[in-house]
């Protein structure tokens, strides 16, 4: 007999029928008078991670929330990742009371606000501010053209949801009470300690203490998990043979040749990525009029790749 019971899938299944680890962040947006207001959110996930002209998150929000309405009107937001202490989480929960107007909730705001890097680059522009206590913050812009959502109208005063003939699929107003926002990443800002960790190689102590919201909640409590310590798990170290790299290289439609020593530098590349890696080398060789790729040329190609990644 199976050890699993079957739970009903209902509205807000991630809160009612699952334990679902998620971030807990405060999102800053702009009010109509250019001030910054903040609301807590968890339904946030990386959406475009590679291969597009830009990188993006997706956010799911009640469409009558201040955050959703401000994004519809002013497009910009900051995703603030605050540390996991109890007072901070209590403030996040306070800011999550549905229906509070920005002036009501922000008058007792216990954090500090400062201009972000977008404002520094464009002093005449109006941008939501960053929470100074955040350990990292991401400045974003709603890509309203996706799913043709650019004509999305703000909710008229006094209405608590949308009644539309048609709802969007994944961007804009997606249901009577819901909205999704594809948020282009404009800047990632990080406190120096964690910045240094990422740039110089992260040690166990370099992970910021961020709260993890477990999805599940009841009518009394919001539950979250404090950061304790990180455990490293070694990645598998698999190597293929020079022969199998040679086999993949021989299948390329090119006159460019590889020495065995050059191919030996690719033995750690997982087989599924080998054709792409080899094609990258051939492209470089053709652009640079190189007929045979040896260790020297591979080093140049690798350098070029690391520089591109660094950018």
Ligand X SMILES: Cc1cc2nc3c(=O)[nH]c(=O)nc-3n(C[C@H](O)[C@H](O)[C@H](O)COP(=O)(O)O)c2cc1C
List interacting residues with ligand X (CB under 6 A): 24, 37, 39-43, 60-62, 65-67, 92-93, 96-98, 213, 222
Please state, in angstroms and as integers, the Cα–Cα distance from residue 225 to each residue in 18, 170, 171, 212, 241, following that order. 15, 29, 30, 5, 44
Please identify, using beta-carbon distances, which residue of 38 and 293 lies nearer to ligand X: 38
What distance lies between CA 305 and its chain's CA centroid?
Answer: 23
The least CB distance from residue 37 to ligand X, in Å, is: 6
The least CB distance from residue 64 to ligand X, in Å, is: 8
Please identify, using beta-carbon distances, which residue of 61 and 301 lies nearer to ligand X: 61
The least CB distance from residue 257 to ligand X, in Å, is: 54
The least CB distance from residue 67 to ligand X, in Å, is: 3
Instruction: Measure the CA–CA gap between 128 and 130, rounded to whole angstroms.
Output: 7
Mapped onto helix, strand or coil, the DSSP state of residue 189 is: strand
Instruction: Measure the CA–CA gap between 159 and 64, rounded to whole angstroms.
Output: 8
Q: What is the DSSP letter of 96?
A: T
Please identify, using beta-carbon distances, which residue of 20 and 194 lies nearer to ligand X: 20
The least CB distance from residue 60 to ligand X, in Å, is: 6
Instruction: Measure the CA–CA gap between 289 and 265, rounded to whole angstroms.
Output: 21
Please identify, using beta-carbon distances, which residue of 45 and 199 lies nearer to ligand X: 45
Please identify, using beta-carbon distances, which residue of 62 and 73 lies nearer to ligand X: 62
Q: Are 80 and 131 in contact (CB under 8 A)?
A: yes
Phi, psi of 193, deg, nearest 5 = -55, -45
Please identify, using beta-carbon distances, which residue of 10 and 234 lies nearer to ligand X: 10
Instruction: Measure the CA–CA gap between 152 and 143, rounded to whole angstroms.
Output: 12
The least CB distance from residue 114 to ligand X, in Å, is: 19
Nearest CA-CA partner of 129 in 27, 254, 54, 249? 27
Mapped onto helix, strand or coil, the DSSP state of residue 142 is: strand
Please identify, using beta-carbon distances, which residue of 142 and 284 lies nearer to ligand X: 142
Q: Are 157 and 64 in contact (CB under 8 A)?
A: no
The least CB distance from residue 247 to ligand X, in Å, is: 48
Q: Where are the alpha helices (DSSP H) in 165-208?
A: 192-200
The least CB distance from residue 77 to ligand X, in Å, is: 10
β-bridge pairing 292-293 and 257-258: parallel
Please identify, using beta-carbon distances, which residue of 62 and 246 lies nearer to ligand X: 62
């Amino acid at each position: 007999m199976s050890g699993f019971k079957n739970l009903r899938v209902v509205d807000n299944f991630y809160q009612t029928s699952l334990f679902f680890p998620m971030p807990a962040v405060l999102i800053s947006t702009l009010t109509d008078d250019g001030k910054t207001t903040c609301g807590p959110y968890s339904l946030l996930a990386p959406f475009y991670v590679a291969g597009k002209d830009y990188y993006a998150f997706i956010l799911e929000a009640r469409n009558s929330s201040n955050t959703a309405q401000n994004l519809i009107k002013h497009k910009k937001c900051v995703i603030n990742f605050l540390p996991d202490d109890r007072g901070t989480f209590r403030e996040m929960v306070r800011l999550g009371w549905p229906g509070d107007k920005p002036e009501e909730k922000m008058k007792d705001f216990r954090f500090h606000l400062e201009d972000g890097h977008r404002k520094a680059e464009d002093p005449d522009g109006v941008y939501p501010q960053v929470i100074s206590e955040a350990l990292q913050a991401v400045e974003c812009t709603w890509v309203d053209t996706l799913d043709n959502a650019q004509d999305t109208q703000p909710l008229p005063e006094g209405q608590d949801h949308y009644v539309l003939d048609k709802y969007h699929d994944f961007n804009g107003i997606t249901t009577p009470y819901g909205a999704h926002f594809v948020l282009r990443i404009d800047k990632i800002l990080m406190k120096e300690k964690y910045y240094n960790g990422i740039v110089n190689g992260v040690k166990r102590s370099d992970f910021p203490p961020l709260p993890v919201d477990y999805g599940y909640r009841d009518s009394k409590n919001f539950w979250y998990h404090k950061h304790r310590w990180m455990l490293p798990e070694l990645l598998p170290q698999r190597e293929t043979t020079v022969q199998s790299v040679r086999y993949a290289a021989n299948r390329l439609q090119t006159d460019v040749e590889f020495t065995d020593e050059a191919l030996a530098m690719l033995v750690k590349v997982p087989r599924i990525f080998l054709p792409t890696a080899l094609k990258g080398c051939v492209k470089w060789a053709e652009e640079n009029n190189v007929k045979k790729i040896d260790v020297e040329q591979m080093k140049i190609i690798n350098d070029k790749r690391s520089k591109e990644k660094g950018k």
